[in-house]
Structure 1
Amino acid sequence: MKNSKIEQSKKIVREMVELYCRRHLKTDTIPEEYSHLIDYACRRLDHCRFGEEKGACKNCPVHCYAPKEREAISRVMRWAGPRMLFYSPKAAILHLFGK
C-alpha cells in the first residue's frame, strides 16, 4: 500500500528529522544519530500493533520506543512540528488531522 497511513507517517518523520538537521543543527547532511533515529522510527511504525488504525504516537497507550529514542524523537518533533506548517504545509495539516 503506497499511500498507507504507516507510509505517510514514515514520510513525515523523515521530513521532520531532515528539517531539524538542516535548520536547527545547521547541516545539510543527516548525522549518524539522526539517520539511526529515522530508521528506528520506521521500524517501529512497521511493527505498530495498531497498523492502519493507529493514531498519533504521542497519544498511544503503548510506548514502543526505547527511552533514548523516545526523548530524541520528542525533541525533534517539538522543534520541527510547528515549522512543518511553513516547509510542508500539506503534510503538516494531514498529520494534524490524522488523515
Structure 2
Amino acid sequence: MGRIDREKKTIKLMIEIYCRKKHGHKKGELCEECSELLEYAHKRLSYCKFGENKSTCSRCPIHCYKKDMKIKVKDVMRFSGPRLIIYNPVELIKHALNK
C-alpha cells in the first residue's frame, strides 16, 4: 500500500470515528457533511503535488485545503486522533511514524 492510500485510509477512519461519536451515525455510515469532507480529503490526496513522497499534511509546505475544509479536518483530527489508540492502534502507530 502506497503513502497516498495509507493517508486516505487514515483520514477515512478518523472521519468515521468523528461522525459516529459526534453525529450518531452507525459504523460504516457517514452523514452528508462528513461524506463531503471525506470526498474532499480523498480528492486533495489524489492530486497531491508530492505524490508518494509527501509528508503528513501538517508538515507540508503547501496547504491545499480551502479554509473551511481545513478547519473541519483539524476538528476531526483533534477529536479522532487520540481515539485511534482504542479503535485502531496499529493505524495510529503507522501514522505517528510517518510524521
Q: TM-score, normalised by structure 2?
A: 0.93
Once the two structures are superposed, residues 49-91 of structure 1 have per-residue CA deviations (whole angstroms, 9 ceiling, x without a partner) of 1111111101111000000100000000000001101100001
Once the two structures are superposed, residues 1-26 of structure 1 have per-residue CA deviations (whole angstroms, 9 ceiling, x without a partner) of xx111001001111000001112322
Is the Cα–Cα contact under 8 Å of residues 4 and 45 in structure 2 kept in the other structure? yes
Q: What is the DSSP-based 3-state SS (H/G/I as helix, E as strand, rest coil) of the residue aligned with 1:82? A: helix
In the alignment, structure 1 segments of 5+ residues that lack a partner are: none
Q: What is the DSSP-based 3-state SS (H/G/I as helix, E as strand, rest coil) of the residue aligned with 1:49? A: coil
- Counterpart of 2:7 in structure 1 is 9
Q: TM-score, normalised by structure 1?
A: 0.93
In the alignment, structure 2 segments of 5+ residues that lack a partner are: none
Identical positions, percent? 39
In the alignment of these two chains, the number of paired residues is 97
Greater than 3 Å deviation, 4+ residue runs: none
How do 1:70-85 residues align onto structure 2 when only pairs under 5 Å count? 70-85=70-85
